[in-house]
Structure 1
Amino acid sequence: MTAYARTVRGSGPGLLLAHGAGGGVEANFGPILDGLAQDHTVVAIDYPGTGATPRSDRPLELDDLSDQLVAAADAEGLDTFAIAGYSLGGLVAMRTAARHPERVTRLVLTAAYLRPDHRFRLAAEVWRDLYRSGDHATLARTLVPINFSAPALDALSAEELESVIDGAAATLPPGSAEHADLASRADVSADAPGITAPTLVISTAYDRLVEPHHHRAVAAALPNAELTEIATGHLPFIERPDEWRKLISDFLSIG
């Protein structure tokens, strides 16, 4: 098993981070990494085609991402750990908790889902296919309005909005198509009932990519979960990073 690129910061109890599709450790957790590392040994991996991890030549699978996340924890000497998963990373976190219940102490799942409904599956397939077509400008124009909340977009001038779109198109990671493909078919609905780790489900209340009904379904399916929300679209690390970090840190500090 070829190891994925790994980020390690801080000291203290273990905290693994699982990023979302089309993201990366720095892209999804960068604004809150230092804050989380104040009280934890934070270990995170970049999925294939993101950061310094080479792009995969085969479809991605949740089990492989989970194995790589646990291998990173092993390499850093972490016997037990909490996991914070964002979007697709929430499914990686749940799969890991289901496979290693004795090692996972707590879960924080932000903008997560159990399985794609038709609307989300179609959106992820468009994301995958537009990336493969090379039309990254259209892909950015498709993703930006469903990733940002309406208040965040409306606060931008027309020029600022175009800059955000151009930036999104320019920074799509090489593994975007493979990430979106996995997001379109990943399913942890059978895992959820057996996951007993205390869990905080953070609902991104204005999310139009992974809509809040998905977050509520996650919280309802997990036996030991509580639900809270944050007033953002799908990108809390951009819209409300300090509030997001505090929700994670406060929950992890319990007990």
Structure 2
Amino acid sequence: MTPGTTVRGSGPGLLLAHGAGGGVEANYGPILEGLAARHTVVGVDYPGAGATPRAGRPLDLDGLADALVAAADAEGLDTFAVSGYSLGGPVAIRVAARHPDRVRALVLSATFAHADTRTTLVADIWHELFESGRHALLARYVNLMAVGEPVLNTLSPDQVRAAAEQLATGFPVGTGDQVDLVRRVDVRGDLAGLSVPALVVVTTADPLVSPTLQRELAAALPAAEVAELPTGHLPFVERPGEWLRLIDDFLARVG
């Protein structure tokens, strides 16, 4: 198996595309075994995440999409569903646009078709804090921008500081490259041509990717249905069981 590739389970193929500054295990870990109970799950860490080395050049959606499909090929998967979380949503959309005959379904969670002004501002600050080495401050910023307000307010300031201290030591080396891609993403031109069944999971308490932007994506996808999940940007932390059920139920219905 290629370094940076995750393969679990058996059954119909399910590809996982993770978010910026994350990884397959980081973003899907709490639901990975649940997904693998019914699917052959294949995920690839982006350059600079997990065991995948940095690319040495700006990342692009086509490259990330093709790497994911190559991993599916290596596992003998002719067709597959694709689940994209956050930045992984545009990656999943690009997989479907480039390989329409192979994608059976899309699941798009906490994601966007393009970065609006607010998302770009968030990414700009994230990128600057990472590249300048201010990782402790970045960790505090990520907690503010990723955790839903109801959950964040159940924690004490000391608990938030402790969580930030732990997070600050674990940012992938390619975080800056991945966040830079967030600022450049625009798959709006791909959407109208996609007829594949799609589930858009809107994270309704998301401070990082606004629910408005998520609903705009769903409205532009011809065959999309919407499920609303009352969570911030981290459904795998705040509501993993509900997130898993939404994905499983949808994939069971559409095949």
Q: Mean alpha-carbon deviation: is it higher for 191-200 or for 159-168?
A: 159-168
SS of 1:22's equivalent in the other structure is: coil
Task: Give the match for residue 63 of structure 2.
Answer: 64
Task: Give the match for residue 139 of structure 2.
Answer: 140
Distance 2:169 2:154 in 1: 22
| 1:108 Cα deviation after fit | 0.3
Task: Give the match for residue 242 of structure 1.
Answer: 241
TM-score of the aligned structures, taking structure 2 as reference length: 0.97
Identity %: 57
| 1:158 Cα deviation after fit | 2.2
SS of 1:48's equivalent in the other structure is: coil
Task: Give the match for residue 88 of structure 1.
Answer: 87
Is the Cα contact below 8 Å between 1:4 and 1:48 reproduced in 2?
A: no
Distance 1:154 1:122 in 2: 24
**For residues 136-215 of structure 1, what are the structure 2 equivalents within 5 Å?**
136-215=135-214
> Stretches of 4+ moved more than 2 A in 1?
none
Task: Give the match for residue 106 of structure 1.
Answer: 105
Distance 1:176 1:214 in 2: 23
SS of 1:16's equivalent in the other structure is: strand
- Deviations for 1:34-72, whole angstroms, at most 9, x for unmatched residues? 000000000000001111001121110000000000000
Task: Give the match for residue 20 of structure 2.
Answer: 21
Amino acid at match of 2:59: L
When residues 25 and 162 of structure 1 are mapped into structure 2, their CA distance, relative to the original with a 3 A threshold, is same
When residues 96 and 4 of structure 1 are mapped into structure 2, their CA distance, relative to the original with a 3 A threshold, is farther
Is the Cα contact below 8 Å between 1:203 and 1:216 reproduced in 2?
A: yes
Amino acid at match of 2:151: A
Distance 1:36 1:140 in 2: 29
Distance 1:32 1:245 in 2: 6
Distance 2:202 2:179 in 1: 21
Amino acid at match of 2:241: D
Flag structure 2 segments of 5+ consecutive residues without an equivalent.
none
- Deviations for 1:163-219, whole angstroms, at most 9, x for unmatched residues? 111122111111100010001111100001111110000000000111001110111
Distance 2:76 2:172 in 1: 30
TM-score of the aligned structures, taking structure 1 as reference length: 0.97
Flag structure 1 segments of 5+ consecutive residues without an equivalent.
none
SS of 1:194's equivalent in the other structure is: coil
Distance 1:130 1:65 in 2: 24
Distance 1:244 1:52 in 2: 26
Amino acid at match of 2:169: A
Is the Cα contact below 8 Å between 2:140 and 2:161 reproduced in 1?
A: no
SS of 1:39's equivalent in the other structure is: coil
Distance 1:227 1:176 in 2: 29
Is the Cα contact below 8 Å between 1:43 and 1:72 reproduced in 2?
A: yes
| 1:141 Cα deviation after fit | 1.6
Is the Cα contact below 8 Å between 2:106 and 2:197 reproduced in 1?
A: yes
Distance 1:105 1:167 in 2: 39
Task: Give the match for residue 114 of structure 2.
Answer: 115
Is the Cα contact below 8 Å between 2:93 and 2:191 reproduced in 1?
A: yes
Task: Give the match for residue 33 of structure 1.
Answer: 32
Amino acid at match of 2:210: E
Distance 1:66 1:196 in 2: 18
Distance 2:233 2:184 in 1: 19
